[in-house]
């Protein structure tokens, strides 16, 4: 599984802008898996995606609640599996029920439960760069769910300037 594209960002605002540009390709029923370094911008990415999908309420990290649900043009299910100890705990989240025809589901640390994920998904690996705000976002499709949008994902580009949005 090779990266379709790698995008460098140097601020939370730019990471959010990349997510906003991806939002035009998102469909109901999609699964997006965010993985990578601690503090690399997984929640900031979800904030940008959610805003672009019409979510008006603040999007916060679900580290302690495990799952948050936000209403927008599409419902955004935001899940964090960082604290899960056993793969069996995924069943308790009701993940399969969240993947429906009116929502998109974003899972932080989703690579930890890859074996339990249904169907295909878009994986975005976030890697810390040399500078304090430098990030590399590596996009990959897994399975069939995003296969028809690989060209669109591969064409994503880094924003030319910071969007100015706080994370």
pLDDT in tens, 111-144: 776 777 777 899 999 999 999 999 999 999 988 8
Q: What number of CA atoms fall less than 13 Å from residue 1's CA on the CB side?
A: 15
When pLDDT is averaged across residues 9-38 and rounded to a whole number, the result is 93
Cα(133)–Cα(103) distance, integer angstroms: 30
When pLDDT is averaged across residues 1-28 and rounded to a whole number, the result is 90
DSSP state of 116: G
pLDDT in tens, 32-55: 999 998 889 999 999 999 999 999
Q: Is the pLDDT of residue 88 over 60?
A: no
- pLDDT bin (cut points 50, 70, 90) of residue 86 is low
- The ranges assigned to domains in the chain are 5-135+148-154
Superfamily of domain 5-135+148-154: P-loop containing nucleotide triphosphate hydrolases (3.40.50.300)
* H-only helix segments in the chain: 12-23, 42-52, 89-93, 95-98, 150-154
Say how far residue 88 (Cα) sits from the centre of its chain.
Answer: 22
Q: What number of CA atoms fall less than 13 Å from residue 82's CA on the CB side?
A: 16
Q: Is the pLDDT of residue 87 over 60?
A: no
């Amino acid at each position: 599984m090779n990266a379709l594209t790698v995008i460098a960002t140097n601020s939370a605002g730019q990471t959010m802008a990349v997510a906003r540009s991806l939002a035009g390709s998102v469909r109901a029923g999609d699964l997006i898996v965010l993985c990578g370094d601690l503090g690399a911008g997984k929640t900031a990415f979800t904030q940008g995606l959610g805003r672009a999908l019409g979510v008006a309420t603040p999007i916060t990290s679900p580290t302690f609640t495990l799952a948050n649900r936000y209403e927008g043009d599409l419902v955004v299910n935001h899940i964090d599996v960082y604290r899960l100890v056993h793969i069996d705990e995924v069943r308790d989240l009701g993940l399969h029920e969240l993947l429906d025809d009116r929502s998109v589901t974003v899972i932080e640390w989703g690579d930890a439960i890859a074996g339990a994920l249904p169907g295909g998904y878009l994986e975005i690996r976030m890697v810390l760069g040399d500078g304090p705000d430098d990030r590399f976002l590596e996009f990959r499709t897994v399975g069939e769910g995003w296969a028809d949008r690989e060209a669109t994902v591969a064409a994503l580009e880094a924003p030319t300037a910071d969007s100015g949005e706080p994370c």
